[in-house]
Chain A
Amino acid sequence: QVQLVQSGAEVKKPGASVRVSCKASGYTFNSYYIHWVRQAPGQGLEWMGRIDPTSGTTTYAQTFQGRVTMTRDTSTSAVYVALSSLRSEDTAMYYCAISPIIMGHAFDHWGQGTMVTVSA
Chain B
Amino acid sequence: SYELTQPPSVSVSPGQAARITCSGDALPKQYACWYQQKPDQAPVLVMYKDSERPSGIPERFSASSSGTTVTLTISGVQAEDEADYYCQSADNSGTYQVFGTGTKVTVL
Contact A111 B54 (CB under 8 A): no
Report how many residues on chain B are interfacial, defined by Cβ distance under 8 Å: 26
- Name the contact of A46 in the complex, choosing from B31, B48, B99 (C-beta under 8 A): B99
Give the residues from 55 to 108 in chain B that come closer than 8 angstroms, CB to CB, to chain A.
86, 88-90, 94-102
Q: Provide 21 A-B residue pairs closer than 8 Å at the C-beta atoms, listed in order of the A residue.
A: A44-B101, A45-B43, A45-B86, A46-B99, A47-B88, A47-B98, A61-B96, A62-B96, A103-B33, A103-B45, A103-B48, A105-B33, A105-B94, A106-B45, A106-B49, A107-B33, A107-B35, A107-B43, A107-B45, A110-B44, A112-B42
Residues of B within 8 A of A (CB): 1, 30-31, 33, 35, 37, 42-45, 48-49, 54, 86, 88-90, 94-102
